[in-house]
Homo-oligomer: A and B are copies of this chain.
C-alpha cells in the first residue's frame, strides 16, 4: 500500500488502481471483483436502464464490503434517475464523464459522495475542480471508447493537467501494466484508471468473442473514429471500415449517424457480433494477450509497479 497517497485515502482503497466504468463490460461482477482485490471497481451505468443499474448496485453491495463506484456519462438520457439510485443506494463514490460537471457535483457532494470527473484537457480539468469534484481522471487519445476532440495523448496531457489543478490527478489511456502506471506517476498522477486490461478479465460482462478479439488485437488495430459525430476509439472491423469509407468520402453528419444506427455497441461488445458491432477498446489492447481473473490483473499490475520502481531507483545518475 502506498502510504499517504491522496487517492487511496480518498477512496479508502489499498492500491491506487481504478477499473474504468465501461459500457457493456463493467457490471457488478467485475466491479466487486476489482474492489475485493483492493483496487476500486466501477459499475459502468452508461449501458444500463435505471432498473438494471439498481440491480447491479444491489448485487455489487452483496458481493463486496469494500468501496466501489458508479460511472455516469452525464449525457445519458436517464441521468437523473441514475443519480437518485446512487443516492438511495448509498454508493460512496461517483465518476462522472461526458458532460458538464457543474450540473450534478453539488447535489452529489451534499449527499456525501466522493465525486470524480473524467476530462480530456487541462481546461476541462480546471472546470471540474471549480465545480467542486474531489479528483479528476485525465484520459488520453489512446484510450478506448469516447475521447476528446483535442487528441492529446496521456504523455502530453498529464503534465499539462497537473500544472493546472491542485486536486489529485488520475491517469487514463494506454495503461495496462505497472510500468505504464509508474510512468504516469512520474508525470504527476497519483492513481491510474484502467479499462482495456479489465475488458480482458474473466469477470467482465463483455462477450467472449469480444474478449478474444481484444487479446488478439495487435498494434495499429484500433483507430479514433466518428470524429464528426463523437470521437470514439474502435477496434477495426467491418463496421469500422464502412464508417471510415463514409468519412473519407466526406459523408454528411446525418449519413454517418444513420450508418451508426442504434445498439451497435451492445451488438458488438455484449452480443459478440464482431462484424456489425461497435467494438470500443484502447490502443494498449495490442499489448494484452490473456484473459485473467480481475484479482490477478490487480496483483500483476501492483507487482510490475513495484518492480518498475526498483529499476528506476537503481539507475545511477
Contacts and interface: CB of A to CB of B under 8 A. Distances in A.
Contacts of A175: 155
A3 B313 contact: no
Interface centre among A4, A180, A186 (most CB of B within 10 A): A186
Contact of A142 (B4, B153, B283, B317): B153
A267 B151 CA distance: 27
Nearest to A150: B220
B156 A287 contact: yes
Contacts of A154: 153, 155
A59 interface: no
A185 B308 CA distance: 9
A153 B4 CA distance: 31
Interface in A192-242: 219-220, 223-224, 228
A4 B316 CA distance: 9
A141 B150 CA distance: 13
Per assembly, the copies of the chain total 2
Contacts of A312: 182, 185-186, 309, 312-313
A311 B187 CA distance: 11
A83 B287 CA distance: 37
Contact of A2 (B249, B251, B315): B315
Interface in A131-172: 140-142, 149-157, 159-160, 163
7 contacts: A3-B316, A153-B155, A155-B180, A160-B286, A179-B186, A182-B312, A248-B250
Interface of A: 1-4, 121-123, 140-142, 149-157, 159-160, 163, 173-175, 177, 179-180, 182-188, 219-220, 223-224, 228, 248-251, 283-284, 286-287, 305-306, 308-309, 311-313, 315-317
User: A-B pairs with the 7 shortest C-beta distances?
Assistant: A250-B250, A150-B220, A183-B183, A155-B174, A313-B313, A153-B153, A183-B186
